[in-house]
Chain A
Amino acid sequence: MTLLYSEVEEELRAAVRGLLADRCPPAAVLKRIESEPYDLDLWKTLAGEIGVAGLLVPEEHGGAGASASEAAVVLEELGRGVAPVPFLTSAVLATRALLPTGDALLGELAEGRRTAALVVPFAANPYRPADGVRAEGGRLTGTVTGVAGADVADVLLVPAGGRLHAVEEGAAVQVVPSLDLTRPVATVTFDGVPAREVGACDLGEVLAFGAGLLASEQLGVAGWCLDTTLAYVKERHQFARPVGSFQAIKHRLADLWLDVVRARAAARSAATDGSPVSVAVAQSWNAGVAVHAAEEALQLHGGIGMTWEHPVHLYLKRAKASEIALGTPGDHRAALASLVDVPGPE
């Protein structure tokens, strides 16, 4: 196991970063979030031409047969750009849920021809998964709140009673005003909607897998915040000096850099070994680092950081929402107590 990036991963990173810089820089994301947050043209290029949608799908099902480690590098770049595309929700969470069933839908997801969403609250705790939908006679009934990616999904994958069901039509998807403008959540209601049962679903495993990879997205968010703040404090002058020459600022950024360095090691560990301990460690650490990085970025930009026109708020909102998503840092630390034998009071 290595914690470094392979050449293939660096090439993939360069391709994704180049495309985002060209088609979807933060200013462009900012412009679209109040009308149509998701950039589905961009998603089509990412999924189809660069082939990111099929990374986690084995070749026999029409995918690239890559590993979580490559998907993690894509997530780093998407986090860095707060890119409004359904990669995490469709190509990671929904795809992972579908993989054990070997369903034919996998091929369509892998090619990016269709997009899916896993109908669970994005804030679900992977260690205590619960499904809120009832399946009876091929029909689904129930309401799930806070679902990410459902509004742009062609197919909804619904866990109910330990089984996974595919719904193509008939569900009501109502997007609600969301903290994270670049990944809004929706309320999904099934009122006796016909569904196709596709196989078994180990929801906790799927959510934990997603949590491990989310750590890489959080690393990307933190990385952008650090780099953008560094550039700003070198340029911004007060008291006839760059503000980045004051130790009060330098020391905060040195500490932040050190947090990000450790977030990189944690993200790599979760992506390459994927064990429950690595996932819990990465989420416990990286979720907080992304939030802290965004908060520091805002503060060190001064008043400009508080304005709607500067993209730093997109990163703060993404970071805070991601901290809550797929288990809070506290949920993951609680899991570590038994995973690494640090028992609580008796």
Chain B
Amino acid sequence: MDVTIKERVAAFLAEHDPDGDRLEFLRARFDAGLAWVWFPQGLGGLGAPRELQQVVERELAGTPQINSGVQGIGLGMAAPTILTFGTEDQKRRFLRPLWTGEEIWCQLFSEPGAGSDLATLATRAVRDGDEWVVDGQKVWTSGAHHARWAILVARTDPDVPKHRGLTYFVCDMHAPGVEVRPLRQITGEAEFNEVFLTGVRLPDDLRLGEVGDGWRVAQTTLMNERVAIGGAPVRRGGGMVGVVLDAWRARPELRTHDLHQRLLSLWVESEVTRLSGARLREQLAAGQPGPEGSGLKLSFARLNQALTGFEMEFGRELGYDDWTFRRSEDVDFYGRGPGYRYLRAKGNSIEGGTSEILRNIISERVLGLPSEPRVDKDVPWKDLPR
């Protein structure tokens, strides 16, 4: 398989010049099944084992690349959900421009009143003939200002308990009634937005999955999100610990014994986290999906916060490079300086499921511990206290 895939890449390169038009090259790569090899044929893949993607990436290393930062939500969350629940027409319509980056995606899940308790969300979608009319407010929407499409969860039946009355849609971000307002965050920048939906009309063929099945569809998105966020660095001493090590090695005059001990402990924790990420990838490749995935994001958040706080203290720097308000190009954990890194890392234990919710998931789904008593489980959504 290894050799065949290399032959395929070689044959593709013989026909398509990587130095020509970038977009033409990426479209051709998708059509050749070399976008994501584990996807089905005709949808950018070959129906091949996922680990072969590494071979493709190696072989195509010097060619035009997609922008995994700006396209992160499309690639990591929308694509696997569309693949699992989309109709053939939806897959054909959305996946190619999603992968090439011609169309950027964002995620309309959280609301001011529905964060960790996502299933209680209040954005309504009401059927009107062949269309749905959507009204509500979404929040923490990274990249909404670039997005052509969004994945959206809305309430279609308020008379049943909260998990059962949801439906999953693709939302046209260019439709009338969609308003995107930047939300400035503690770094000074606006990476995310508020999105107001007022009488937005979506044709029924933008629905993903069955009416009322939105919670199950959203689970696919969320599990993929955690794996995407938790992906630990592949190289020993890479990732955030690498940034701190560079500073440490460059400024010997700032080192103290106390900081040295703490840095060594953080180095060790980074390394064992990296090793369990490597072990998880091996398990996935060997077809033994392990529960370790849900834990990686937790470790990653804790480490990033500890390392960035350490870097600030080490540098003894009381300044900040620039508070000027601006819109971010993409989701960036590293930014321009230690101050940005420290502040941005605070979001790591909140975005994509708070660390507290992740601990609930681990303890209930992996360790089999009982859930806390739930008072809202069998109550129609419209009767819940709020």
Residues of B with C-beta under 8 A to A21? none
Q: Which residue of A lies closest to B248 (CB)?
A: A342
> Within 8 Å of chain A (Cβ to Cβ): is B11?
no
What's the minimum C-beta distance from B331 to chain A, rounded to whole angstroms?
A: 24
> Are A245 and B298 touching (Cβ within 8 A)?
no
> Within 8 Å of chain B (Cβ to Cβ): is A161?
no
The distance in angstroms between the C-alpha atoms of A330 and B268, with both chains bound, is: 11
The distance in angstroms between the C-alpha atoms of A246 and B373, with both chains bound, is: 9
> Are B260 and A261 touching (Cβ within 8 A)?
no
> Are A253 and B268 touching (Cβ within 8 A)?
no
Given contacts A254-B363, A336-B264, A342-B263, contact A4 B271 (CB under 8 A): no
Residues of A with C-beta under 8 A to B366? 254, 257
Q: Which residue of B lies closest to A2 (CB)?
A: B282
> Within 8 Å of chain B (Cβ to Cβ): is A207?
no
> Within 8 Å of chain A (Cβ to Cβ): is B276?
yes
> Within 8 Å of chain B (Cβ to Cβ): is A306?
no
Given contacts A241-B373, A242-B370, A340-B237, contact A257 B295 (CB under 8 A): yes
Residues of A with C-beta under 8 A to B362? 254, 257-258
Residues of B with C-beta under 8 A to A264? 276, 279
The distance in angstroms between the C-alpha atoms of A148 and B148, with both chains bound, is: 68
> Are B268 and A345 touching (Cβ within 8 A)?
no
The distance in angstroms between the C-alpha atoms of A346 and B251, with both chains bound, is: 11
State how many residues of chain A have any CB contact under 8 Å with chain B. 44
Residues of B with C-beta under 8 A to A241? 370, 373
Residues of A with C-beta under 8 A to B261? 330, 333
Given contacts A247-B372, A265-B279, A333-B264, contact A345 B367 (CB under 8 A): no
The distance in angstroms between the C-alpha atoms of A244 and B373, with both chains bound, is: 12
What's the minimum C-beta distance from A69 to chain B, rounded to whole angstroms?
A: 14
> Within 8 Å of chain B (Cβ to Cβ): is A284?
yes
> Are A257 and B369 touching (Cβ within 8 A)?
no
Given contacts A4-B286, A233-B369, A247-B360, contact A265 B268 (CB under 8 A): no
> Are A337 and B260 touching (Cβ within 8 A)?
yes
> Within 8 Å of chain B (Cβ to Cβ): is A268?
yes
Q: Which residue of B lies closest to A346 (CB)?
A: B252
Residues of B with C-beta under 8 A to A242? 369-370
Interface contacts (Cβ under 8 Å), in number, total 137
Given contacts A250-B360, A285-B269, contact A342 B372 (CB under 8 A): no
Q: Mark B259-295, 1 if CB is under 8 A from A, else 0.
A: 0110111011101110110110011001010001001
Q: Which of A221-267 contact B (CB under 8 A)?
A: 230, 233-234, 241-242, 244-247, 249-251, 253-255, 257-258, 261-266
> Are B367 and A265 touching (Cβ within 8 A)?
no
> Within 8 Å of chain A (Cβ to Cβ): is B159?
no
Q: Mark B364-386, 1 if CB is under 8 A from A, else 0.
A: 10111111110000000000000
The distance in angstroms between the C-alpha atoms of A15 and B257, with both chains bound, is: 47
> Within 8 Å of chain A (Cβ to Cβ): is B299?
yes
Q: Which of B217-266 contact A (CB under 8 A)?
A: 236-237, 245, 248-249, 252-253, 255-257, 260-261, 263-265
> Are B249 and A244 touching (Cβ within 8 A)?
no
The distance in angstroms between the C-alpha atoms of A269 and B278, with both chains bound, is: 10
> Within 8 Å of chain A (Cβ to Cβ): is B27?
no
What's the minimum C-beta distance from B344 to chain A, rounded to whole angstroms?
A: 23
> Are B369 and A343 touching (Cβ within 8 A)?
no
What's the minimum C-beta distance from B310 to chain A, rounded to whole angstroms?
A: 12
Q: Which of B320-363 contact A (CB under 8 A)?
A: 356, 358-360, 362-363
Q: B272 is contacted by which of A251, A266, A341 (Cβ under 8 Å)?
A: A266
The distance in angstroms between the C-alpha atoms of A337 and B257, with both chains bound, is: 12
> Are A345 and B255 touching (Cβ within 8 A)?
yes
Residues of A with C-beta under 8 A to B255? 343-346
The distance in angstroms between the C-alpha atoms of A323 and B272, with both chains bound, is: 18
The distance in angstroms between the C-alpha atoms of A41 and B236, with both chains bound, is: 45
Q: Which residue of A lies closest to B274 (CB)?
A: A265
The distance in angstroms between the C-alpha atoms of A257 and B366, with both chains bound, is: 9
Given contacts A262-B299, A333-B264, contact A253 B369 (CB under 8 A): yes
What's the minimum C-beta distance from A17 to chain B, rounded to whole angstroms?
A: 20
Q: Which residue of B lies closest to A262 (CB)?
A: B272
Residues of A with C-beta under 8 A to B237? 340
Q: A250 is contacted by which of B271, B295, B369, B373 (Cβ under 8 Å)?
A: B369
> Within 8 Å of chain B (Cβ to Cβ): is A279?
no
Given contacts A241-B370, A245-B371, A268-B279, contact A254 B359 (CB under 8 A): yes
Q: Which residue of B lies closest to A226 (CB)?
A: B367
The distance in angstroms between the C-alpha atoms of A247 and B360, with both chains bound, is: 7
Q: Which residue of B lies closest to A227 (CB)?
A: B367
Residues of B with C-beta under 8 A to A268? 275, 279
Residues of B with C-beta under 8 A to A266? 271-272, 275
> Within 8 Å of chain B (Cβ to Cβ): is A193?
no
Residues of A with C-beta under 8 A to B282? 2-4
Given contacts A253-B363, A336-B264, A337-B264, contact A265 B370 (CB under 8 A): no
The distance in angstroms between the C-alpha atoms of A262 and B276, with both chains bound, is: 5
The distance in angstroms between the C-alpha atoms of A345 and B370, with both chains bound, is: 49
The distance in angstroms between the C-alpha atoms of A258 and B265, with both chains bound, is: 17
Residues of B with C-beta under 8 A to A253? 363, 367, 369
User: Which of B237, B275, B358, B372 has the largest count of A CB atoms less than 10 A from its CB?
Assistant: B275
> Within 8 Å of chain B (Cβ to Cβ): is A106?
no
The distance in angstroms between the C-alpha atoms of A4 and B276, with both chains bound, is: 11
What's the minimum C-beta distance from A345 to chain B, rounded to whole angstroms?
A: 4
> Are A251 and B359 touching (Cβ within 8 A)?
yes
Q: Mark A2-16, 1 if CB is under 8 A from B, else 0.
A: 111000000000000
Q: Mark A308-346, 1 if CB is under 8 A from B, else 0.
A: 000000000000000000000010011011001111111
What's the minimum C-beta distance from B248 to chain A, rounded to whole angstroms?
A: 7
Residues of B with C-beta under 8 A to A3? 275, 278-279, 282
Given contacts A262-B273, A342-B260, contact A333 B268 (CB under 8 A): yes
Residues of A with C-beta under 8 A to B283? 4
Q: Which residue of B lies closest to A231 (CB)?
A: B368
What's the minimum C-beta distance from A245 to chain B, rounded to whole angstroms?
A: 4
Q: Which residue of A lies closest to B362 (CB)?
A: A254
Q: List 8 A-B contacts (CB under 8 A).
A: A3-B279, A253-B367, A254-B366, A258-B298, A265-B275, A265-B276, A284-B265, A340-B267
9 extra interface residue pairs, beta carbon distance < 8 Å, beyond A230-B367, A265-B275, A337-B260: A251-B360, A257-B363, A258-B295, A258-B298, A258-B362, A262-B276, A340-B237, A342-B248, A342-B267
Closest 9 pairs between A and B when the two form their complex, measured CB to CB: A250-B363, A265-B275, A265-B276, A254-B359, A245-B370, A254-B362, A262-B272, A3-B279, A345-B255
